[in-house]
Amino acid sequence: MSTPQTVAFHTLGCKLNFSETSLIRRKFEDYGFSTVEFSDIADVYVLNTCSVTDFADRKCRSAVRKVLRQSPEAKVVVIGCYAQLKPEEIAAIPGVDLVLGAAEKFNILNYIDTLSQQVGKGMVQAGKVEQANTFEEAFSYGDRTRSFLKVQDGCNYKCSFCTIPQARGNSRSDTVKNVIKNAKKIAQLGVKEIVLTGVNLGDFGNGTEVIEGTKPKKEALFIDLIKELDQIEGIDRFRISSIEPNLLTAEIIEFVAHSKRFMPHFHAPLQSGSNKILKAMRRRYQRELYAERVLKIKEVMPHACIGVDVIVGFPGETDEDFKETFDFISDLDVSYLHVFTYSERANTPATEMDDVVPVNIRRQRNEALRNLSFKKKQQFYQRHLGTTRHVLFEKSTKEGMMTGFTDNYIKVELPWDADLANQISEFNLGSITTELLVQS
């Protein structure tokens, strides 16, 4: 690279994407680039995309248009799940210069110096997803108070609605030894909290080395990893980002309950409270198992926060099926919901299913569950009023304020105090303001 250049990043989607964006940012900076905000003028813009829903696809297109309005001469590179699934479609978007697939995105600097030669349609470097068969370590740093540490990638599950296996390949993991090394590195950077991330986190342990055509050797289990991480000095908090209910074992729950550093906070995707719909989704559990997991968590950690993913409007979901989901979640002692409106994804079995739910009905069901989520969170917060918990504070997007999360993921707010930034302090949970708690 002959002259100093600037680069800006924009990340859509999951915590895993954020960890990978941070890694790629550091690669650019080591190469001599200066990082600027996405809202600033830059020479190169890198968009790390998601494709869980059609809305995520539209966000990518909107981001490209925003870039071209503020910096018409900039080079635009698109990576991530959407880029692997629909590279030619993205390359045809006016202004996109380069599209990199799952196996190519970490080698992005190999292509940067050729971008000036691009004319017309963007260049595509996206091989078959089977080529994404190695594990690329990554963690975020400098973006937030906490660090997202990637420990697993890809997925061997074949849920009928999901494109992630097509976008990220088969399940594969880092080694316990290397995760520990990266966690210690993060500790040396002054980070207080690490969030473990992956596509199917509970499936941790799948190696990448295939011997004589056999399946990759299972190097360790997720429980082995978290037991080792719990011994690391310098990191006060670990969180498990999301874990399938069938992989959230009683052993894991018991371990977290007695852990020194793992927080009493779980996020487990349910997707539906109807066994009929769960079967159509090709999920690996029934609602009864999910209820057992919630009961087990609350038995050993009554104060634990439990988040739930739900999909509404899946093909074949009748009013009775949705009511079954609504009532099931209403009766569960969970803390909040992430509600997704089903959207058709190309090359998934769900697109071939009958009894498509009208879009307006999907939206109505989404709103109903979002309202239920608000009530669940309010109830969870109410239970903790007047108690004192430890909070890790960070700067708020609101001027003159700072926010933080308790160990059990209650969001709190108070006036900015530089001495509290990136510190864990006791906080008295006083009163609820919308979805925040403020000090009494």
pLDDT one-digit tens code per residue, 279-299: 999 999 999 999 999 999 999
**pTM, entire model:** 0.91
- The gap from C-alpha 252 to its chain's centroid, in whole angstroms, comes to 20
Percentages helix, strand, coil for the chain (3-state, rounded to 5) are: 35, 25, 40
CB 380 within 8 A of CB 387: no
Token representation of residue 423: 């510190």
The predicted model gives 385-406 an average pLDDT of 88
What pLDDT score was predicted for residue 210? 44
The predicted model gives 380-401 an average pLDDT of 88
The predicted model gives 81-104 an average pLDDT of 88
pLDDT at 81 over 60: yes
Select the more confidently predicted residue: 341 or 118.
Answer: 341
Q: What percent of the chain has pLDDT over 70?
A: 92
pLDDT at 348 over 90: yes
| CA distance linking residue 192 with residue 340, whole number of Å | 31
In SS3 terms, 278-306 reads as: HHHHCCCCCHHHHHHHHHHHHHHCCCCEE
Q: DSSP state, 358?
A: P
Select the more confidently predicted residue: 336 or 2.
Answer: 336
What pLDDT score was predicted for residue 61? 81
pLDDT at 62 over 80: yes
The predicted model gives 168-191 an average pLDDT of 94
Q: What percent of the chain has pLDDT over 90?
A: 65
pLDDT at 404 over 80: yes
CB 387 within 8 A of CB 406: no
State the DSSP H helix or E strand holding residue 370, giving kind and residue range, or none if neither: helix 359-383
What pLDDT score was predicted for residue 35? 94
